[in-house]
Structure 1
Amino acid sequence: MTERTSGTASEEANEGEKAEGGEDTDDGDTADTMRVRAGDSRVKLWLLLRANRLVVAGVLTLVVFVAFVTVAAAFSPSLAEKIGSGDPIDTLFSTMIAAIVTGTTLVVTIGQVVLTQENGPLGDQQERMNDTLTVRDSIAELTGSPVPTDPAAFLDAILVAASERSRALRESVRERDGDRSDRIAIREDVDDLAANIIENADGVRDSLDGAEFGSFDVVFAAIDFDYSPKIGQIERVDDDHDDAFTDDERALLKELKESLSLFGPAREHIKTLYFQWTLIDLSRQILYAAVPALVVAGLMLAVVDAGTFPGSTRGVDHVTLVVGAAFAVTLLPFLLFVSYVLRVLTLAKRTLAIGPLVLRDSK
């Protein structure tokens, strides 16, 4: 990954004035990190996005088991008495078998739809390749070097270009002499713009360093770069001080806006690939979980009755514990679906807009 360009002492001082968490306080500026922008707690964000999806599904399974046993033990007559006088196990687990088969088929069908998008005639595949190479050529022209093939390094190269243009623009404006109000205003506006971009880009580059595609790390780091309001800030600075910029500074401003504009589709491309990767993983995990779930449900129908697990522990009938555990296991395919979809939907909501459009209150 490309090494960072060192900033000046005054740059560090400017960046140190930012609020903790990357939040900007000036009008029109927005918080940088997604957690601050969304206003969600760390725990909620961890549960929805950062946590391992298998761990989340396991926790949900444990919650279902505890809730089932607690409620079943609290009501009278007990579950053991109901099993002795009727067939709730047959009713419950025969329904679960039908639900598992139907749900698994549906999710696998979704996975097939994702794979279908990868299939197509030669002309369509060639068009996809040409579009990809066109974007890579634009990034290579902007950065002046070949574009990395690693997704994290690919995004990092765009961030490097944005940081370098920001520094160059700021240094060019700072070299001007005089204390006229218009010159002071353009220096302040450009300083603020550069500090916002460099600070945010450096934080995201730290997160991208060592991140591997397939995990959520690359996408999570990418959504922390809040490029949309920065494009809007560039447009405001350009409009407010258009006559005051030299030709070289105007070119730097244009290249800076181009680098931020390229980050948008690049991030969306990485996010789309991650969605496809995740849905394929989800289909596979559900298929893995469906087999033991069906076996457990079948055993509950064939073996368990009121006398199979006699006795109790701490006032809870053993049969209640067994039925609760079996019910939780048979729900595992659905809980896997819930854990993965929570992340996908949260990520999709946080990245709905592409370009200088902010779908939240400005901070």
Structure 2
Amino acid sequence: MGSSERNESLESSGTEIGDRTGPLARVREWILVEGDRLLITILLSSVTFFLLLALNELEFIAFVNSGSMTRLASGMIAGTFSLVTLVVSINQLILSQEFATAGEVRDELDGVMDFRHDLEERTGVPASPAAPTRILEVLVEAVRRRADELAEAVAGHEDAAFEARVNRYVASVRESTDRLDDTLEHTSSNTFNAVSASLQYDNGRQVYVARTLRGRYADELSDEQREAVDELIGTLQLFDVAQEHFKTTYLQRELTRFSQLTIYSGFPAILSAIIVALVYADFGGASINVASLPVVVSALITVVISPLALLVSYILRTATVARRSASVGPMLPQKDPDDGSFEGSLEEGQE
């Protein structure tokens, strides 16, 4: 392995989760995470409506067969009932997490207060902020400050190669924190924006590299240098705790909102499916003008599939957030096996 490859292994930034380059990647990111869920639901429903009209114009489908449309309406009614039942089950699961005894509530409150106390102790702020994005701003500033303290602590170290490795690592930490700080400055103070911004920060790799440096060079570190590494690791781990807390809160709120909207759209969807069945209930065929039949039936079908479009839009984002934050701490499931081993790079880099 060449020296350039070894140096790259020491970088903490790697391929950060949430990087977006190119128009297609930005569109995908907007659909998966950034876009308003109701707007995406409307877009999906609109695409369905115009697709049905286009297929009818191309004579690929038709709306004149009463038997087929009646069976379709029956299937849509059953499917919508099943979807609403599924969403009610999801809502019950979320509500079950909200039931707690006084002792459990006290333990949860103690955990939150302990986190805020640790945050104030490590960052030096008199009182931790309440807004999620402001908490991340405080943590990012603390990480940057701890990284600078580590660079100062190892300055003039007798092992020039070790000092160079630490400086490369600190430079990558500064780059990541500057990028996240810039993102936070342009976001509002809600839970989703805090989760979205924190997903862009490669915290796990930074903890991984710092722990490896401390383990490999334990005998060469002074007490001051070891303390500087430990302070940086501790602050990065606190960032992990904040990210997981915000993610849990966001997912609970998001799924609850999804349940509400599905119930709101479920009744019109079932009613529309019933109307489709009634339109074709006459023995003589459809009860409305044949010329307007494609538009009317396409609109009714669009209303029927609106709960499904809602499900798709919300699950896309919640699943993406859960996948991108599946690991906690220095576990790197997104790391490419072909990138090589950081430990191996250290071994080859030692004189």
Identify whether the pair has TM-score above 0.5, normalized to the shorter chain: yes
* Alignment deviations for residues 277-336 of structure 1 (CA, whole Å, 9 cap, x no partner): 00011011112212322332233333465351233xxxxxx3122212211111001110
* 1:111 and 2:91 aligned: yes
Change (3 A) 1:38 1:257: farther
Q: Distance in 1 between matches of 2:103 and 2:152?
A: 48
Aligned to 2:297, which of 323, 326, 330? 323
* 1:353 and 2:327 aligned: yes
Measured after TM superposition, the shift of residue 53 of structure 1 is 1.0
Q: Distance in 1 between matches of 2:109 and 2:170?
A: 35
Matches within 5 A, 1:117-266: 117-145=97-125, 146-174=127-155, 176=156, 182=159, 184-209=160-185, 210-214=187-191, 216-266=192-242
Gaps of 5+ in 1: 1-23, 312-317
Deviates more, 1:32-41 or 1:332-341: 32-41
Q: Distance in 1 between matches of 2:15 and 2:142?
A: 18
4+ long deviations beyond 4 Å: 37-40
Which residue is 2:261 aligned to?
285
Aligned partners of 1:35 and 1:42 also within 8 Å:
no
Secondary structure of 1:360 counterpart: coil
Secondary structure of 1:308 counterpart: coil
Secondary structure of 2:90 counterpart: helix
Change (3 A) 1:236 1:248: same
**TM-score normalised according to structure 1 size:** 0.81
Deviates more, 1:186-195 or 1:295-304: 295-304
* Alignment deviations for residues 173-231 of structure 1 (CA, whole Å, 9 cap, x no partner): 33x28xx6x2x2233112111111121112112222342225x3221101111111111
Change (3 A) 1:249 1:80: closer
Q: What residue identity is the alignment partner of 1:173?
A: V
Which residue is 1:44 aligned to?
28
Which residue is 1:338 aligned to?
312
* Alignment deviations for residues 70-116 of structure 1 (CA, whole Å, 9 cap, x no partner): 3344347x62442xxx3333322233223223311220221121122
* Alignment deviations for residues 253-286 of structure 1 (CA, whole Å, 9 cap, x no partner): 1100101111112101100100000001101111
Which residue is 2:8 aligned to?
26
Gaps of 5+ in 2: 1-5, 340-351
Q: In angstroms, what is the RMSD of aligned CA positions?
A: 2.5
* Alignment deviations for residues 14-70 of structure 1 (CA, whole Å, 9 cap, x no partner): xxxxxxxxxx97025453532349998222222111111112111211222233333
Which residue is 1:9 aligned to?
none
* Alignment deviations for residues 110-135 of structure 1 (CA, whole Å, 9 cap, x no partner): 11211220111111111111222222
Change (3 A) 1:99 1:25: farther
Task: Report how many aligned residue pairs link the two structures.
Answer: 324
Q: Distance in 2 between matches of 1:64 and 1:292?
A: 17
Q: Distance in 1 between matches of 2:302 and 2:196?
A: 31
Change (3 A) 1:347 1:80: closer
